[in-house]
Amino acid sequence: MKILLTGFEPFGGEPVNPSQVVVQAIGHMMFENVNVMTAILPVSRFEATQALSVAIAQFEPDAVMMLGEAGTRARVSPERVAINVDDFRIPDNGGHQPQNEPIVPDGPAAYFSTLPIQKLVARLTAADIPAAISNSAGTYLCNRVFYWVMHLIHSQNLPIRAGFIHLPYLHEQSLNKRDCPSLARATQIEAIRLSILACAE
């Protein structure tokens, strides 16, 4: 089985992005029966979706697991749904800040994740890793790439399962913030290793 695993570069003034750290660590691991390909996406509206389209065309994966940072979350959060709206709270790294614009004009309002999100939460929880399904991926880059990939799969009828998982801050990011949740680097890496194994079953 081939899985494309993606993360994002840092944004919003943060020195690192947990999704980039996790993707790079997983990229060095060996999996039995799973061929993991990785890509780090720019936090820039059109470049991010372009990079994803290229990676999917190149790798022809069986599954796409996209990761991103959600700094306010305390848990690893498989997302349930992607919605057809770009409404950026802050400009992306390319300076774009669309307000209330469709990602795909005339596209459907939303797509559900086709990753086994209940199973992922159960596996992580069983491994003592805080996890919960999230019902909103926001309206920034993460929701955008999630929607974009689901639309590509549906419109081209591709045999690919796909979804998005948000990660909390790493401890190093929360140290200078008051009462800010975070998870250890090793815990986040293990969460995604277990998620890949669960998806490959």
Note whether 121 binds ligand PCA by CB under 6 A: no
Record the tokens describing residue 17, joined without a space. Answer: 């992005």
Single-letter code of the amino acid located at 74:
A
Note whether 103 binds ligand PCA by CB under 6 A: no
Place of tokens 């399904």: 133
Q: Which residues of 25-53 are buried (b: 16+ CB within 10 A; e: fewer)?
A: bbeeeeeeebebbbbebbbbbeebbebbe
Which one of residues 142, 160, 170, 191 is an interface residue with ligand PCA (CB under 6 A)?
142
Least distance in Å: CB of 88 to ligand PCA? 9
Which H or E run includes 129?
A: none
Note whether 3 binds ligand PCA by CB under 6 A: no
Q: Among this protein's residues, is 154 annotated catalytic?
A: no
Pairing of strands 110-112, 81-83: antiparallel
What's the DSSP call for residue 134? B
Asked whether the beta carbons of 38 and 65 are under 8 A apart, the reply is no
Which one of residues 43, 64, 85, 121 is an interface residue with ligand PCA (CB under 6 A)?
43
Q: Among this protein's residues, is 79 annotated catalytic?
A: yes
Note whether 69 binds ligand PCA by CB under 6 A: yes
* Active-site residue, selected from the candidate residues 151, 166, 190, 199: 166
The residue range among 58-66, 67-75, 77-85, 127-135 that interacts with ligand PCA, by the rule CB under 6 A, is 67-75
The residue range among 24-32, 57-65, 137-145, 182-190 that interacts with ligand PCA, by the rule CB under 6 A, is 137-145
Contact positions vs ligand PCA (CB under 6 A): 8, 11, 17, 19, 43, 68-70, 138, 140-142
